[in-house]
Structure 1
């Protein structure tokens, strides 16, 4: 495949993957509001079944099958590598739960934008680790992130919050847990590849949540729309979203992919308005734009 074709494929797949991620949050909001599903119920089901889909994808590749065998034999890092897998699964679980609770208490667009602030956390971490001061672009990005968060949280009036306090706190927790989930598995991804790491960690966290919450005992009486929503959030909002986005990262590199990944909060906003009829104040939209611009400055 030529470089231009590879770039075109990467752009298309990254945009689609980010859009599917944005759809995922809105679909979760639809299921929670329409069927009374608990956020942890959704996380358990989507991670467990998406984990099996990722495992099937990994088994289809000879290279990934070899990585799975090495992982099962505790090679390529030994028990320390397995411990890092456990830590990655825990970070994935925490981030997914925090995000879904934030979606329930606010909306998918706000929760997604607050999660995007993880880039600021990672930027600060990189500066501390490298023992350097932030660059001008990074400082500008930090100012935009703080200003955007202020507008979303207060509507421009510092005397009151325009969203529930617990929604804001869960959104901030989503930001920090996403930063952890982004940083912890770096070595694992290089050693075993993203399909294997994602399959094992997602299946592990999903299994733990399934056993802890026993979602089959509290499943509501789904109609056709509810069943379609559950299937869509597993297949489209989780499996396809991640698979397409990661292929985009391979084709474009992490920098360009992260910029195109801003399609996620944009898509979440559009889906929230068109599907669920969510109304946003001008200050909310201004805050969203400021945080999206922050991505371009800090990526």
Structure 2
């Protein structure tokens, strides 16, 4: 029953992430919502809620304890700005200029970027799985972005640029968080990172500078879903699943996220999706499954995968 609970939690969280991206696109389509404002309000509220969960459910002393060591505090601030904020902003910007399906799938290039980084640092060796996943990623992106035609892109250029930047930011986010996660709970690290990112972006677009009268009840319901379900609950459920599932199992089940994003984008928002874009989608989801199921190629990689707690931020 404990294991079944973990499976249910990670699947539910992944579905929330995928649908949350599509709901965000709906907001951008129908209401005058600025990307900066949405990212700011999403980070601040979700971060506060995550720290609240930590306060009532786990070791509350960690909430302030993370700031007592200067080195860790600086590390956390960098993680909040260049990791959390960068991932959230680039992902939302990609949705704004394109759609949730493409943004989510491009963000899932992060594992390939991590493989390349580890190879460059000589922390792993190139395997058949690595070659297969990189090939699937490149082929998948080609079909996804061109729909099989090299004459023109089927996705706006800005959506592609922001999507690729989102993948780079997610790769940095995942690798840079390792030392922090060895000392503090994920809820504390991610909660504070969200608040740091939200405060920083508030200087560019304060959360109170918004034409709230232009928002309908439907818009507020979408905002609640994006912030509460698509961010706070999604991450909480994913973290809780790690109590009964291995990181590899959680990552595998989490691959439902891009599928949920694609399906809701096509069938709810009625976004056009060509045959070759579906082929590209299958290639990228296949890459995710291979990465989640494949065995690590070196002892360092094994140690990394056993000790790290994967973070989710979509």
TM interval, short-chain normalised: over 0.9
In the alignment, does 2:65 pair up with 1:70?
Answer: yes
2: CA distance, partners of 1:266 / 1:142: 20
What is the aligned partner in structure 1 of residue 179 from structure 2? 187
What is the aligned partner in structure 1 of residue 9 from structure 2? 13
Task: Report 1:93-172 matches (<5 A).
Answer: 93-172=85-164
Tell me the secondary structure at the aligned position of residue 215 of structure 1.
coil
Tell me the secondary structure at the aligned position of residue 247 of structure 1.
helix
1: CA distance, partners of 2:152 / 2:235: 37
How far residue 28 of structure 1 moved from its aligned partner, in angstroms, is 0.9
2: CA distance, partners of 1:92 / 1:62: 22
In the alignment, does 2:82 pair up with 1:87?
Answer: no
How far residue 190 of structure 1 moved from its aligned partner, in angstroms, is 1.8
What is the aligned partner in structure 2 of residue 39 from structure 1? 35
2: CA distance, partners of 1:230 / 1:187: 33
Q: TM-score, normalised by structure 1?
A: 0.93
Task: Identify the structure with the greater helix proportion.
Answer: 1
In the alignment, does 2:239 pair up with 1:243?
Answer: no
1: CA distance, partners of 2:117 / 2:2: 32
Aligned residues: 290
How far residue 62 of structure 1 moved from its aligned partner, in angstroms, is 4.3
RMSD: 1.4
2:57 to 32, 51, 61: 61
What is the aligned partner in structure 2 of residue 269 from structure 1? 262
In the alignment, does 2:246 pair up with 1:253?
Answer: yes
Give ranges in structure 1 of 5+ residues lacking alignment: none
What is the aligned partner in structure 2 of residue 233 from structure 1? 226
- Compared CA separation, residues 62 and 7, structure 1 to 2 (3 A): closer
CA contact (8 A) 1:58 1:199 kept: no
Task: Could you list the structure 1 runs, at least 4 aligned residues long, displaced by more than 6 angstroms after superposition.
Answer: none
CA contact (8 A) 1:58 1:195 kept: yes
